[in-house]
Structure 1
Amino acid sequence: MSPVTVPADNAFTLAACAEMIYLDKPFLERVDAIAARGLKVEIWDWTAKDLTALAARRADGVEIVSMTGYVEGDLTTDDGVTRILSTAEDSLKAAETIDCPRLNVHGTGLGEGGIPVVANAHPSPTDWLRAVDTCRRLAELGERHGRIFTLENLNTAVDHPGCPFALARDTRALVAAVDSPHLRMNLDLYHAQIGEGNLIELCRQCLPLIGEIQVADVPGRAQPGTGEISYRAVSEALAAAGYRGTVAMEAFATGEGENGSTAVSEAALDQFIDTFSVSGERSS
């Protein structure tokens, strides 16, 4: 059976995270496999990647469209703010090397197993003001370098307990307060389903501030179609609302066979592409 392909008039640009699929391949081969499906590529920690090799693949049509935008730090503590801004500048240099337009950040650095380095489940009003200022400074760095920082919502119930500014309503408030095209939301619908739900209305509310959308199903963080989220309905609602940005599968590939293997990853991408193939003419 031939792989599912993205329609030429698709409403969205589709991407996949190379950290979570094709796990039986070396990393650069994962990138190649994703690009061979006509998808854009997303990566996490750039410090562990061969940036020169990734940059060389640009000539073959491989596009890295999102990467982690800091190495350490947080939005509120004195040392954390210094470190996140410093390593954001380092990340911008890396982004220039591979021509990556978006750099992803969180409320705090994440350690082993996704545990926040600086846990703060209930930020104070002072913390909120400091976080807005730090996000503003990130946006200024992004503007200076022609890049966009995206602030990702997370969930605290399953994956990231104690993470500050975790909910989509939190990231939305911070991004809105900064009000810069160089700071946008990375609206992760897997995390949002666990933390808030009501995904279609959430997308509509956040639409003007979204830099990209990431998807995985609940429970299990596997590809769309494996859990409780009606991603086809979400897809059609996004298209109807006029969203024309990136939708990225940040999900583990599961199915018949070894999870993350090439065969299972190919089938997972088929599901993802089929779910988010919606004509761009359907906007209202």
Structure 2
Amino acid sequence: MYTLAVCAETVFRDLPIEERARHIHQAGFQVEIWDWTRHDLEALARTSAEFSSTTGHVRGTLTDPDGAAELLRTAEESVKAAEHLSCPRLNLHGTGLDGEGLPVVPVVPVSGGATGEMWITAHRTLTRLAELGEGAGVTFTLENLNTAVDHPGVPFATAAETLALVAAVDRPGLRMNPDLYHAQIGEGNLIELVRRAHDGGLIGEIQVADVPGRREPGTGEINYPAVARALAELGYDGTVALEAWASGDSHTALERFRAAFTL
């Protein structure tokens, strides 16, 4: 069966990040964080939490040579941070991050899409990232995003684009992070998405939240128990991570997540 993790950035938000990690760990989940540069890694390591994922780059983009060079440089720094936390996965996006660690820097017009040259640059950069991950014993995961609500202008945002890039690179150091919240807003057909990605051996982990509002499962329109059954039928044994704002009490949000993915 899959392992459950919770993003510490989105729950227990009245507490320091180390205390959030402790609460998540004590509840029986692995822990994810966003931009590691904003946190005290020593303090996080002392929590005894098992870290599942953190941000794989701090600056840069996949779309142009200068941005790609900066992305690769900060990815090397991220590998060192991951080693400090014994964290096996580093999450990627096609663009730079804001002060909260969220990928919001627009690169392509809302009405348009990435150019052929952008695709070539992204493929070349992701191949180098995969090589970096393989040498360091970590896996970079490329996450799909939605451009309609949260991330307008972000390149390679759709699940189809993300899956195509990961499949084209075809290296064990790069996998897809199907974020089902973003996929529901952008494309829907969630079970077929995870089936295609799983059958291709391309899933690094899966992130979840409900729609609308990006709250925990059970607060919106997504039938997450059906998704959980599909994952079990596929034999998925990776990580499913809650990356959702708690609709109320954080402990309750964690238990709703656990219940949705407990068969």
Bin for the TM-score computed over the shorter chain: over 0.9
3-state DSSP of counterpart to 1:57: coil
- Tell me if the contact between 1:74 and 1:118 (Cα under 8 Å) persists in the aligned partners: no
- Tell me if the contact between 1:115 and 1:161 (Cα under 8 Å) persists in the aligned partners: no
Q: Which amino acid aligns with 1:65?
A: S
What is the CA distance between 1:56 and its match in structure 2? 2.5
3-state DSSP of counterpart to 2:205: strand
CA distance in 2, matches of 1:163, 1:47: 22
| Aligned positions of 1:205-244 closer than 5 A | 205-207=196-198, 208-244=201-237
Unaligned runs of 5+ in 2: none
CA distance in 1, matches of 2:235, 2:218: 23
Q: Which amino acid aligns with 1:51?
A: L
Post-superposition, which runs of at least 4 consecutive aligned residues in structure 1 deviate over 4 A?
112-115
Partner of 2:16: 26
**How many residues are aligned here?**
257
What is the CA distance between 1:21 and its match in structure 2? 0.3
Q: CA 1:189/1:141 → structure 2, altered by over 3 Å: closer, same or farther?
A: same
Q: 1:192 aligns with which of 177, 183, 208?
A: 183
Higher relative contact order (CA 8 A, sep 6+): 1
Partner of 1:7: none
- Tell me if the contact between 1:223 and 1:253 (Cα under 8 Å) persists in the aligned partners: yes
Worse-superposed segment, 150-159 or 22-31: 22-31
- Tell me if the contact between 1:235 and 1:275 (Cα under 8 Å) persists in the aligned partners: yes
3-state DSSP of counterpart to 2:97: coil
What is the CA distance between 1:246 and its match in structure 2? 0.3
| Aligned positions of 1:1-284 closer than 5 A | 11-58=1-48, 62-111=49-98, 114=102, 116-121=104-109, 122-207=113-198, 208-255=201-248, 264-278=249-263
CA distance in 2, matches of 1:115, 1:52: 25
What is the CA distance between 1:115 and its match in structure 2? 6.3
Q: Which amino acid aligns with 1:134?
A: T
Q: Give % identity.
A: 59
What is the CA distance between 1:119 and its match in structure 2? 1.5
- Tell me if the contact between 1:70 and 1:88 (Cα under 8 Å) persists in the aligned partners: yes
3-state DSSP of counterpart to 1:225: coil
CA RMSD of aligned residues (A): 1.2
